[in-house]
Amino acid sequence: MREQYDDRSGRTGGMTRRRVLGIGGALGVMAATGLSASAALARRPSITGAELRSAVPLPPPFQVPLPLPSVLKPVSTSGGVDRYEITQREASAEILPGVRTPLWTYEGTFPGPTIESRRGRPVTVSHRNELPVPTAVHLHGGRTPADSDGYPTDLVLPEGWQEHSMHMGHGSGHGMHDPRAVVTELTRDYTFPLDQRPTLLWYHDHRMDFTAPAIWRGLAGLHVIRDDAEDSLGLPAGRRELPLAIADRAFAADGSLDYPALDPTLRERPGVRGSYLAGVLGDVILVNGAPWPVHEVDAARYRLRILNASNARHYELEAVTDDGRQLDLVQIGADQGLLAAPVTHRLLPMAPAERYDVVIDFSRVPVGSRVRLLNRLGAGRTGEVMAFRVARTAADDSRIPRTLSNDLPTWRRADAVRVRDFSFRAGRMGGGHGWLIGGLPFDPARSDVTVRLGDVEVWRLVADVHHPVHLHLVGFRVLSRGGRPPLPHDAGLKDTISLRPGESAEIITRFDGYRGRYLFHCHNAEHEDMGMMANLEIV
């Protein structure tokens, strides 16, 4: 395995290798001197992270069939609550043909099983931790009471885990203590009321200091919420609705997932090797856990529910036919459900944790030919994602209504009782490099932001490098980006906003739902583990 920055070889134009390398240099300078972010800002790196190179032969693209994660069956449905059981355990899978890869899984698969739910019908998921380390499960995008939100210190300990050996701080091991942590042994019931707009959520590990490597090893799965209103729209459905969880990984010579963890057991010492402080990228693009897969489709409309489940990699997706035509990506939904009206894209940027609900029409694609989903931000193999092979003509009675929803919040600036400013920047943490919000690394015991239940607030966010900023509990709308109107892909209700290098944005939200301790953080998973989280207390 070699450590190497992504060589973008001019694919997006004007980007030189030297500029990409600049991020490492800028971080080094900032770490050494405490220099303000302006030096790094001037460089505007196009990639935040460093790429691992796999040490096993990689398969050709578009050969492996696209897997669809299995849908989990409830163990009981009594009292209007669906109850599920998930065992977190080690397993191995053949991700690359002919190669066995050990994983940490939900129920033995990567991604884990999908939970299908209905709006307003509560779901309880009982998680049992048979992994060698503590875990915490967060339902990303869920409007969830705080005690089921998977706060990073609300750990589920594996059997026999010694409390005293537990590391509870960043990097230097200064023994951060969280007096409010609610720790359970072996199992924990997470209850989700799901009283929220229908959308694609995902659940993943959120353990203090070790979220990034745990997700990398396989602790992620999908959760869909539906309702009658959405079902009645006539959107493509059934086998013409495909969840696509995109994630990059790299493979070591023994077939295991490569990851530059300082402590490969993920038991005590958090963090990654120095050249990966900005984020870990892999050279293999997986969709639903398969490398560059292919899926056979009818010449008809399909609904693609796309999740960027990568730790740090950003994508700019385009759908290209064999004869070089770009197909429209008609966006119908964002992180938090349906848009008011469809938005048509040719290029769809996706930061980690973002979801886009997109309809693509294969009806004019010749039978027997392919449509490739490409990543314009990638180079070489990471420039390809998956392919659809149009297998047959078929009837299609699906439609994309001009009005998709009329329940989007319409918060206005004048509704806000407060404006807050947050910077997302590199800095010093515990004697080493960290990623800071408002100049501070995460401390679970510190109070950062206290908001009143029901208040509308405007938050102004500014970033040095790429930071996908995620708020727990609430969805928000993007008010502005860089002082200008939001971009087309900012439409709808979001729970993660992609800040690009040097960029600022304003978001507006109403903090409603539940009182308690929540989080907001960067969803570059390595940044998150290196301090870039803050407490959000709703009172």
Shortest gap between Cβ of 224 and Cu ion (angstroms)? Answer: 27
Q: Under the criterion CB under 5 A, does residue 524 sit at the interface with Cu ion?
A: yes
Shortest gap between Cβ of 365 and Cu ion (angstroms)? 38
Written as six digits, the tokens of 11 are 């694919």
Nearest to 134 by CA among 101, 112, 162, 103: 162
Q: Which of 527, 530, 533, 538 binds Cu ion (CB under 5 A)?
A: 527
217 binds Cu ion (CB under 5 A): no
79: CB partners within 8 A, 6+ apart? none
> What secondary structure, in 3-state letters, does 444-455 show?
CCCCCEEECCCC
Minimum distance, C-beta of residue 212 to Cu ion, in the bound complex (Å): 11
Stretch that binds Cu ion, among 9-17, 165-173, 360-368, 465-473 (CB under 5 A): 465-473
Q: Is residue 539 within 8 Å of 519, Cβ to Cβ?
A: no
- When the beta carbons of 31 and 522 are compared against Cu ion, the nearer one is 522
Cα dist. 70→73, 108, 288, 502 in Å? 9, 11, 11, 41
Contact window for Cu ion (CB under 5 A) among 10-18, 82-90, 351-359, 516-524: 516-524
Tokens coding 310: 């990568």
Nearest to Cu ion of 206, 301 (CB atom): 206
| 433: amino acid identity, one letter | H
377 or 522: whose CB is closer to Cu ion? 522
Question: Which of 486, 319, 333 is CA-nearest to residue 407?
Answer: 333
State how far the Cα of 126 lies from the Cα of 134, in Å rounded to an integer: 15
In the complex, minimum distance from the CB of residue 49 to Cu ion, in angstroms, rounded to a whole number: 10
Number of residues located near Cu ion, criterion CB under 5 A: 4
Quote the least distance from Cβ 435 to Cu ion, whole Å. 6
The reply to whether omega before 145 is within 30° of 0 (cis) is no
CB of residue 350 vs Cu ion: minimum separation in angstroms? Answer: 15
Q: Which stretch binds Cu ion (CB under 5 A): 12-20, 68-76, 102-110, 517-525?
A: 517-525
DSSP string for 324-366 = SPEEPEEEEEETTEEEEEEEEESSEEE-TT-EEEEEEE-TTSP
Instruction: Among 127, 240, 467, 521, indicate the residue that binds Cu ion (CB under 5 A).
Output: 467
* Sole window of 120-128, 196-204, 409-417, 461-469 interacting with Cu ion (rule: CB under 5 A): 461-469
Q: How many CA atoms lie within 13 A of 33 on its CB side?
A: 12
Please give the residues from 265 up to 284 whose contact with Cu ion meets the rule CB under 5 A.
none
Token pair, residue 126, equals 């009982």
Q: Which stretch binds Cu ion (CB under 5 A): 294-302, 346-354, 501-509, 514-522?
A: 514-522
CA 376 – CA 10 distance, rounded (Å): 11
Output the smallest distance, CB 278 to Cu ion, in A: 9
Q: Which one of residues 133, 522, 530, 534 is an interface residue with Cu ion (CB under 5 A)? A: 522
Compute the least distance from the CB of residue 275 to Cu ion, in Å.
17
Residues making contact with Cu ion (CB under 5 A): 467, 522, 524, 527
